[in-house]
């Protein structure tokens, strides 16, 4: 594990992990004013490859734009290069890359315009997000007692630090109750997503996932899985998912950069299908892991070799 070690690109230069520090009065610490990304870099026989780098950087730029955090130093070309440089600098074969833009130390109070825009990119080796056996056996989840916020409150198309305070309520509740993860409903009571993952439902051979209007982060893994599933000949439909559809689904799985493609074995103690990874989930997982390992043709141009 490389967590706590290595070098971090911090406001324009590389510093040692321990030196990447901010002031107590950093605006983002008090008010959640940060936007960030999570990107995976995979080990392939042609060297490390970053998965969907441009899409992640574009989403970061979009998040920054929504929160009026744009800055002349921050653009697609520079940021994508910095992500590549961080992998190189640390000599990683595979890792998780975390770019973050935040409002720094410049004054207190809700008006953030006097605080400087700061930017950093860290990386570390990060294994299976939901535990060692999760990818094979699936995870046990509960529906959260918390909802996602209504659409005109916290914009979910922005991957903002502040949004994750809701995700933490969902995750803590799940963990304290002995579950691996929580599924959260939107403000209309329809299924939204996991605390840090999108959700897919398989029913009678069709595949469904909540639409972007269901307070989801429109995941890049979600987008990739839709393309994979269609390439495998499945029909994928984005539509509202009622809670009870989770209980009668044939298969359910999470997608996310950290979670990759993780099967769900049970929801609220009701087994999903046979209570183990289903065949369609397995096919999609296999395709996904072959693409990122570069053992299958990268027909969608998803890999950036470092």
Please give the positions annotated as active site.
159
Rg of the chain on CA atoms, in Å:
19
- DSSP label at 148? P
Give the 3-state DSSP-derived string for 17-84, with helices as H, strands as E and coil as C.
HHHCCCCCCCHHHHHCCEEECCEEEECCCCCCEEECHHHHHHHHHHHHHHCCCCCCCCCHHHHHHHHH
Considering the complex, what minimum distance in angstroms separates the CB of residue 197 from ligand PPE?
A: 5
Strand partners, 119: 101
Region binding ligand PPE by CB under 6 A among candidate stretches 22-30, 99-107, 201-209, 251-259: 251-259
Which residue, 257 or 281, is less far from ligand PPE as judged by CB?
Answer: 257
The residue among 56 and 277 lying less far from ligand PPE, judged by its C-beta, is: 56
Report the residue number, 197 or 251, with the smaller CB distance to ligand PPE: 197
Residue number with CB closer to ligand PPE (115 or 219): 219
Q: Is residue 221 at the binding interface for ligand PPE, with CB under 6 A as the rule?
A: yes
Q: Considering the rule CB under 6 A, would residue 285 count as an interface residue with ligand PPE? A: no
User: Closest approach of Cβ 72 to ligand PPE, in Å?
Assistant: 26
How many chain residues bind ligand PPE (CB under 6 A)?
Answer: 16
Please state the separation of Cα 112 from the chain's center in Å. Answer: 26
> Please, what is the end-to-end C-alpha distance for the chain in angstroms?
20
Give residues 18-77 in contact with ligand PPE (rule: CB under 6 A). 38
Question: Rounded to the nearest whole angstrom, what is the least distance from the CB of residue 144 to ligand PPE in the complex?
Answer: 12
Residue among 90, 257, 266, 281 that touches ligand PPE (CB under 6 A)? 257
Q: What would the DSSP string read from start to end of 87-113? A: HHHTT-SSEEEEEEEEE-SS--SS--T
Contact with ligand PPE (CB under 6 A) among 99, 182, 256, 273: 256
Of 273, 233, 239, residue with least CA distance to 253: 273
The least CB distance from residue 172 to ligand PPE, in Å, is 13
Cα dihedral across residues 190, 194, 197, 201: positive or negative: negative
Q: How far apart are CA 240 and CA 227, in angstroms?
A: 19
Task: Compute the distance between CA of residue 64 and CA of residue 59 in angstroms, rounded to an integer.
Answer: 9
Supply the minimum distance, in Å, between the C-beta of residue 198 and ligand PPE: 5
Task: Report the C-alpha gap between 256 and 167 in whole angstroms.
Answer: 14
Strand pairing report for 270-271 and 181-185: unpaired
- Residues in 163-182 that interact with ligand PPE by CB under 6 A: 167
CB of 95 to ligand PPE, least distance (A): 12
Closest to ligand PPE by CB, 115 vs 264, is 264
Give the residue nearest to ligand PPE (CB). 38
Dist. CA 194–CA 192, nearest whole Å: 7
User: How many whole angstroms separate alpha carbon 76 and alpha carbon 18?
Assistant: 27
Q: Which of 115/158 has CB closer to ligand PPE?
A: 158
Binding mask 181-220 for ligand PPE (x = CB under 6 A): ------------x--xxx------------------x-xx
> Site residues (CB under 6 A) for ligand PPE?
38, 167, 193, 196-198, 217, 219-222, 255-259
């Amino acid at each position: 594990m490389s967590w706590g070690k290595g070098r971090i690109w911090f406001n324009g230069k590389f510093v040692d992990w321990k030196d990447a520090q901010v002031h107590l009065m950093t605006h983002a610490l008090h008010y959640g004013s940060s936007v960030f990304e999570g990107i995976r870099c995979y080990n392939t026989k042609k060297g490390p490859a970053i998965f969907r780098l441009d899409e992640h950087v574009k989403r970061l730029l979009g998040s920054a734009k929504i929160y009026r955090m744009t800055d002349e130093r921050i653009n697609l070309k520079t940021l994508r290069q910095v992500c590549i440089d961080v992998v190189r600098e640390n000599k990683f074969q595979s890792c998780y890359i975390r770019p973050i833009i935040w409002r720094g130390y410049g004054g207190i109070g809700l008006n953030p315009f006097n605080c400087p825009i700061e930017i950093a990119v860290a990386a570390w080796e990060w294994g299976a997000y939901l535990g060692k056996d999760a990818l094979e056996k699936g995870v046990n989840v509960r529906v959260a007692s918390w909802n996602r916020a209504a659409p005109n409150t916290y914009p979910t198309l922005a991957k903002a630090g502040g949004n994750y305070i809701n995700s933490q309520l969902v995750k803590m509740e799940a963990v304290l109750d002995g579950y691996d993860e929580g599924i959260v409903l939107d403000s209309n009571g329809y299924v939204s997503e996991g605390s840090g993952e999108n959700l897919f439902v398989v029913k009678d051979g069709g595949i469904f996932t909540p639409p972007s209007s269901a307070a989801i982060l429109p995941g890049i893994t979600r987008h990739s899985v839709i393309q994979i599933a269609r390439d495998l000949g499945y029909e994928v439909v984005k539509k509202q998912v009622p809670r009870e559809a989770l209980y009668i689904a044939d298969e359910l799985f999470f997608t996310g950069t950290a979670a990759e493609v993780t099967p769900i074995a049970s929801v609220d103690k009701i087994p999903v299908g046979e209570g183990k990874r289903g065949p369609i989930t397995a096919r999609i997982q296999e395709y996904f892991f072959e693409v990122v390992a570069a053992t299958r043709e990268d027909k969608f141009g998803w890999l950036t070799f470092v």
